[in-house]
Structure 1
Amino acid sequence: MTSKCAIVTGAARGIGLATADLLAENGWKVALVDRDQSELAQAAAERPEMLALPLDVSIPEQVDAIIAKTLEWAGRIDSLVNNAGVAEFGPIADCDFTAWRRVMATNLDGVFLCSQAATPALKQSRGSIVNIASISGLRASTLRVAYGTSKAAVIQLTKQYAAEFGEHGVRVNCVAPGPVRTKLAMAVHSPEIIAAYHDALPLNRYGSERELAEAVVFLASDKASYITGQVLAVDGGFDSTGVGLPALRQA
């Protein structure tokens, strides 16, 4: 049996790399896509069975190359994991149009471009798309005007594709991560922020990259064969509790 093949964008680190590793553990061939060439090279050096593609999902010509090189390598595409994203936080007053477009180019345009380019191959394989949004796309927060809006748009884009692609047997779903213990998050989250998140999360902890990968790989796989158009918040209960009253945890 020919191995299934997945493309994972933003795969040099974090959730993307954890997803690629779990897919490989499950017998998938994996193409790693990331514009950070040095990080991608380091990850790929430890995973010689994977295809490394140092390309940018926000540039149409490079997206076409991602699809072409993957098909040349594997002969098929069974799943596209749109994980590549950038996060720029700050007050709305400080978000100029250049910053807005920088976020949208990767977080939204990249998802659209990759999904469009992969469509013919996914229709042929009756495959799947898994988009990575964010809990910030489900609930508003301060300092995230571009980021949160881009992720909300990814959620809507997921539903649009699911509505049209179902008749072709292509499933399209979305994972919305809550706070995740990535190297980047731990580098920028102060002890006060970490404590505040713990208070707001019913599970009282950050998620792990592996826990997010488990959700992504499930939705990409045949185990989720009757699931499409869904948004799965993998967030320790963060979205379910709204603002919450941390003081009540002491009761």
Structure 2
Amino acid sequence: MGEVRALAERLQAPMIPADATSVADLETVFTESTQALGGKIDFVLHSIGMSPNVRKKRTYDDLDYDLLSKTLDISAVSFHKMLQVAKKQDAIAEGGSIVALTYVASQRTFFGYNDMADAKSLLESIARSFGYIYGREKGVRINTISQSPTLTTAGSGIKGMDHLMDFADKMSPLGNATADDCADYCVTLFSDLTRKVTMQNLFHDGGFSSMGMSLRAMNQYSKSFEEFKDESGKIVYG
């Protein structure tokens, strides 16, 4: 488990490994977690995403559908499985908070994000649908955070990820939100300060999602054309 195991040892916290797509494994996770904690769980973070199609460099118009099913199961359906198991076990405390991480590609098209965009759309839909039921019956909040592009193990496989991160940073008035920034934002949603916030997709991206074009991005765009002008000043297209 690499760094996760090292972190668990440093915090002296039990680590319970599981396949997030396995209902049986998730049942074990919640059973053992409540036992270890001595009671119900106050908050849960779903931070899982992976596309075999992206890893195998399959383009969106040439997807392997068996791999697409795995993408959806790992990146989105696992969220529903987790919520369903938790609710059936009554493992989440009254007023508890559940958060999942998503990306703006669920709502807009980004080159190279591929079938992960479909998975994130499904993830957000699950948060809304389950959020209504869990909120009405148990007072449990369910939200998603649409984070800036962040270099993760899954994200590193997306074509042009470094360029995407640079573009987002130039477009965002506050710049990209880091992984540490995201962790801080998660804490606010886990706290009682947001006890009336549920079924929301909350953008945590430095303002990127509200932008059309920034000065920094426009300057970069103009500069790229300057590099392709001929001696007469006309733009040369390759």
Normalised TM-score (structure 2): 0.78
| 1:217-228 matched pairs, under 5 angstroms | 217-228=187-198
Residue type of the partner of 2:128?
A: K
Specify the alignment match of 1:180 in structure 2.
Answer: 150
Offset, 1:115: 0.7
Picking from 127, 141, 155, the partner of 1:171 is 141
1:44 paired to 2:2: no
Distance 1:55 1:242, change over 3 A: farther
Higher-Rg structure is 2
Question: Residue 91 of structure 2: SS of its match in structure 1?
Answer: helix
Residues 57 and 63 in structure 1, CA contact (< 8 A), matched pair in contact too: yes
Separation in 1, partners of 2:23, 2:71: 16
Q: Tell me the number of residue pairs that the alignment of Structure 1 and Structure 2 aligns.
A: 212
Q: For each residue in 1:156-178, what CA deviation from the matched residue of structure 2 results, as whole angstroms up to 9, or x when unmatched?
A: 11111222222221111111112
1:199 paired to 2:205: no
Residues 155 and 161 in structure 2, CA contact (< 8 A), matched pair in contact too: no
Q: Which of structure 1's runs of 4+ aligned residues deviate more than 6 A?
A: none
Structure 2 segments unaligned to the other structure (5+ residues): 223-238
Residue type of the partner of 1:126?
A: G
% identical equivalent positions: 20
Normalised TM-score (structure 1): 0.74
Offset, 1:186: 7.1
Offset, 1:105: 1.4
Offset, 1:70: 0.3
1:58 paired to 2:28: no
Separation in 2, partners of 1:250, 1:144: 21
Residue type of the partner of 2:143?
A: N
Specify the alignment match of 2:204 in structure 1.
Answer: 234
| 1:4-19 matched pairs, under 5 angstroms | none
Picking from 100, 109, 113, the partner of 1:131 is 100
Residue type of the partner of 1:64?
A: E
Offset, 1:147: 0.3
Residue type of the partner of 2:63?
A: C
Superposition CA RMSD, Å:
2.7
Separation in 2, partners of 1:244, 1:129: 34
Specify the alignment match of 2:40 in structure 1.
Answer: 76
Distance 1:250 1:106, change over 3 A: closer
Residue type of the partner of 1:247?
A: M
Structure 1 segments unaligned to the other structure (5+ residues): 1-36
Question: Residue 51 of structure 1: SS of its match in structure 2?
Answer: coil
Picking from 135, 157, 162, the partner of 2:126 is 157
Separation in 1, partners of 2:213, 2:27: 42
Separation in 1, partners of 2:153, 2:77: 25
